[in-house]
Amino acid sequence: MKMDRRSLIVAASLTGLAAGRTGRAGAQTPPPVVVQGQSRGGPPGLPQPAETVDLWPNGAPGVPAGLSEIVQERSTDGLVSDRAVWGITRPRMAVFRPDRPNGAAVLLTPGGGYKWVVVDKEGYELGRWLAARGFTAFVLFYRLPGEGWASGPDTPLVDAQRAMRLIRHRAGEYRIDPERVAAMGFSAGGHVCASLSTRFAARVYDPVDAADRLSARPLCAAPIYPVVSMDPAIAHMGSREKLLGTAPTPAAEAANSPDRTVPADAPPHFLLHAEDDDVVPVDNALRLHTALRAQKVPVELHLFANGGHGFGLRKATGKPVEVWPDLWRGWARTVGLG
């Protein structure tokens, strides 16, 4: 269902957003609640984000003509939402505020093979889990590289850098320590996360305001079952094609493979993958692990024999891999996140 102007106005009223508040980056785009012609804000009883932060005060740079946002509800179960969003022209963060902030924040980048962004399974569900434990969570609706943006393959990284800087710029408003901001991403969103954690210093867009004077380096990073390498031998070919096209050069493959762009000052990493992943080969996490160790960057790696791909929280239940969020939280304490 296309998010036309009327739908956006209805959605904004449903979520109670207050556009134009002091310190906001312009009028804020609401979370996607209008799906298949009906208002649906997610499963009943679960907290939904009532606040978003648009990344760009004057609109995203290099917008393609004719692009419009579309939301598709893929779940047939009224108690489980599984929305995919594409055609994102107003990249933004949906915010999950904890009742008792612990001073730390996490930028979440859901996956979707760079075809779309799966905001529930690898975004909102993790946002709720984090907020319940004191973390302020920001779910990133990043632009997709195959939709004609002027920044091409760098498009998701542009949004991730800008998001990290905005979180820090508004740290006082969210009662967080600007030094304690982490990144976590899943599948293709894991590629966004790993690109941010290895190319945080790359100049991929022109500064637009004071926020862009701040660092985009996360305190720590957690790419979960991540797309990493663009090497055809182990790449997730769908993500590779959306990112680089059908015939990328070796230079383009290298520049967009985070295992080949790790700097010596990369942040500590937490990596997790299932060895039976039949979508994104476990070699992606292994190559990133090797590259981080080569640069003497602190890294913790967890491999599970079973789990498949895209388990997030909901598909991990009842399996050994269901312990992964607590493993991450224990590790996060050791690197100062809390």
> Is 75 inside a domain boundary?
yes
Q: Tell me which residue range forms the domain holding 257.
A: 50-334
For the stretch 50-105, pLDDT in tens is: 799 999 999 999 999 999 999 999 998 878 899 999 999 999 999 999 999 999 99
CA dihedral for 35, 12, 132, 270, sign (positive or negative)? positive
Is 41 among the domain residues?
A: no
Segment 144-173, tens digit of pLDDT:
999 999 999 999 999 999 999 999 999 999
Phi, psi of 150 (to 5 degrees): -60, -30
Is position 14 within any domain? no
Output the pTM of the full model: 0.89
Would you say 96 and 152 are in contact if contact means Cβ atoms under 8 Å apart?
Answer: no
Q: Report residues of the chain scoring pLDDT below 50.
A: 1-27, 34-39
Q: Rounded to whole angstroms, how far apart are CA atoms 70 and 141?
A: 12
In a domain, 105, yes or no: yes
Q: Quick check: 52 and 94 in contact, CB under 8 A?
A: yes
Residues contacting residue 205 through CB under 8 Å, at least 6 positions apart: 61, 151, 158, 161, 162
Tokens encoding 123:
């975004």
Residue 47 has what pLDDT? 79
Domain tally, the chain:
1
Instruction: Judge whether 96 lies within some domain.
Output: yes
Per-residue pLDDT, 24:
40
Residue 287 and residue 194: Cα distance in Å, rounded? Answer: 12
Q: Which residue has the tokens 């799966």?
A: 118
Amino acid 107: pLDDT: 99
Tokens of 246: 């059908």
Pairing of strands 92-96, 136-141: antiparallel
CB 184 within 8 A of CB 126: yes
Residue 32 forms part of a structural domain: no
Distance CA 167, CA 239 (A): 27
DSSP-derived pairing of the beta strands 221-224 and 269-274 = parallel
Residues 6+ apart with CB under 8 A from 33: 11, 14, 15, 39, 40, 41, 42, 48
pLDDT at residue 31, as a whole number:
59
pLDDT of residue 179: 98
**Residue 37 falls within a domain, yes or no?**
no
For 94, residues 6+ apart whose C-beta sits below 8 A from its C-beta are: 31, 49, 51, 52, 119, 123, 124, 127, 138, 139, 141
Q: 179 to each of 105, 135, 150, how far by Cα in Å?
A: 9, 14, 31
Question: How high is the pLDDT of residue 23?
Answer: 37
Place of tokens 């609706």: 141
Residue 198 sits in a domain whose CATH number is 3.40.50.1820
User: Which of 196, 216, 328, 186 lies closest to 258 in space, CA to CA?
Assistant: 196
User: Is residue 34 assigned to a domain?
Assistant: no
Helix/strand/coil for 232: coil
Q: What is the C-alpha to C-alpha distance for residues 94 and 211, in angstroms, rounded to an integer?
A: 18
